Chain A
Amino acid sequence: MVWEHVGEDVVTSSRGEPSGDAVGDGSSGGRGSRGGRGGQPSAAGSQAEFEELVLPHLDLLQGFALRLTRNRADADDLLQDALYRAYRGLGGFERGTNFKAWMFRIITNAFISRRRSDARAPRLVDLDAVDPGAEPAPDQAEALREELVDATTDWRRVYAEHVDDDVKQALDELPLEFRLPLLLSGLGGLRYQEIADVLRIPIGTVMSRLFRARQRLRRALRDYALARGIAVGRVEEA
């Protein structure tokens, strides 16, 4: 009988016997980092599991922290804080669900609670109170002109010519109530309902903020391209 370890699948013998239990520990050349899994949750085991869960997402988690705080030192603190919380809360993570989204929620909560607890910092945004409808409606002629410019923009060119720093700057300039849903959706992969839950805002608000965040972002990217002298379409003057 030939056994071969293939991931953690239930491997069956050539006679077709199910043998899921037999394979787990008998794998030749087993992977060290999986050692603590499945058995009693020793500290080393859960640490290895935590690392395995976090590592694939660490670059994006750091990117998220940076775009939230907009400075390196605060981002480092926030990420460290969130990882600390996540490791201690690992028992609450439902295995098999989206770990990245779970981490994004933790970072968001850590970020919001930091802002709220820091009495010295002015409250730039109250996530519960901001009503996107309260923003003054743009002049109708201006809005029409914007739409016309949008329609005549070669967006492929805009995206092809952008540099990452443009995108970061455009994101950093978005008000937090737009930036946060955009990052949670775009980087964290959270569903609309999950974003609504973590930010405690209605799902309709999530959708409208996402829409407007993307609209602002793409217009900012176009403006940067134009500022660098790149022709990105026919811009008709009103």
Chain B
Amino acid sequence: MRCPEVRDLLHAFLDGELEVDKNVAMLKHLELCPPCRERSGCEQELREVVVRACCEPVAPERARALLAAACRPGPDALGGDAPAAAAPRVPSRRWRRWSAAAAVVALIGGAGAWALRAPCPGSDCSTRSLLAWARAQAQLEPPLPLEDLYERLGERFDAPAPAGLTLLGGNTLTIDGQRAPLLRYRCDCDGKVVVVARVPGVHVHGRDVRRLADGRSYVVVEHEGAKLVGWQGGDGGLWCVIGCEALPRERLYVLASAMRG
């Protein structure tokens, strides 16, 4: 693929509208062509600027009032006393807790990049999850063979096995009393190691959610050289690919897409 064609297809690429083969050709070209990569980066940045500017935080009290009104039986839910207007705006204890969670996240993801919500009211597991997660990232033990990992977890599971990656084994991560797998893969092409983690019970919500080339949404976090591309799994948890070494961001996107299947 040559530069003029890349320019023509760039918007469709960034909007996730390209066929798989064209997508791959685009990724290859962008990896090798700095001017096109710069152009693509700028276009992507404009998209992110819009999402960030349009994210209008709803205070938990108001969220509760909105949802309660929406779910209220009877046709009068839209009446003049719509809680949208009357919702109290006093910060609640829960709001402070979420703020604390957001502060922890800011530590990892850069200021204001994320906000996380506990999946269940009254739980602050997101904070603890992230602390545990950050600790685990910093202190990875050598990987256990998969059979040992299964034994430690007390369960077997299907580890993602995308092409081009070799599973080295994994460790466990204890979050809210649950053990979760933290798998390590080596890229066949250059021997670099990536970690794939599942953080159960964490609902991701935030400003740094990006739609990548495969058309699906991911959370992207970069902080002090560490990069993470995560997505909400069907099991209500967060799955993520963490680059332990200096992997280019685009590589992580491709890996996350492959892991997701």
Contact = CB atoms under 8 A, between A and B. Distances in A.
The DSSP consensus for interface residues of chain B is: mixed
Interface stretch (A128-136, A180-188, A229-237): A180-188
A167 B50 contact: yes
A7 B200 contact: yes
A29 B178 CA distance: 10
30 contacts: A4-B153, A4-B178, A7-B237, A13-B155, A14-B150, A14-B151, A16-B156, A29-B177, A51-B67, A52-B119, A55-B117, A60-B55, A63-B55, A80-B82, A86-B70, A96-B234, A155-B45, A156-B45, A167-B50, A167-B52, A167-B54, A168-B54, A171-B50, A171-B53, A187-B54, A189-B211, A210-B15, A214-B46, A217-B46, A218-B46
Interface in A81-134: 81, 83-84, 86-87, 96, 100
Interface string A47-79: 100111011111110111011000001001101
Nearest to A169: B53
Contacts of A67: 54
A9 B235 contact: yes
Instruction: Tell me if A's interface is mostly helix, strand, loop or mixed.
Output: helix
A146 B236 CA distance: 48
Nearest to A214: B46
Interface of B: 11-12, 15-17, 42-43, 45-47, 49-58, 63, 66-67, 69-71, 73, 77-78, 82-85, 115, 117, 119-121, 150-151, 153-157, 176-180, 198, 200-201, 203-205, 211, 215, 217, 232-237
Contacts of B43: 214
Contacts, number: 181
Nearest to B64: A51
B237 A83 contact: no
Nearest to B119: A31
B84 A76 contact: yes
A198 to B, nearest CB: 16
B85 A63 contact: no
B50 A8 contact: no
Contacts of B50: 167, 171, 182, 186-187, 217
B56 A59 contact: yes
A100 B12 CA distance: 20
A54 B67 contact: yes
A84 B117 CA distance: 23
A199 interface: no
Residue of A79, A80, A162, A214 most packed against chain B (CB within 10 A): A80
A25 interface: no
Contacts of A43: 73
B84 A80 contact: yes
A91 to B, nearest CB: 14
A186 B155 CA distance: 40
A32 interface: yes
Interface string A6-37: 11110111101000000000000101111000
Nearest to A19: B155
Contacts of A141: none
Contact of B78 (A9, A80, A96, A164): A80
A191 B17 contact: yes
Contacts of A59: 55-58, 115, 205
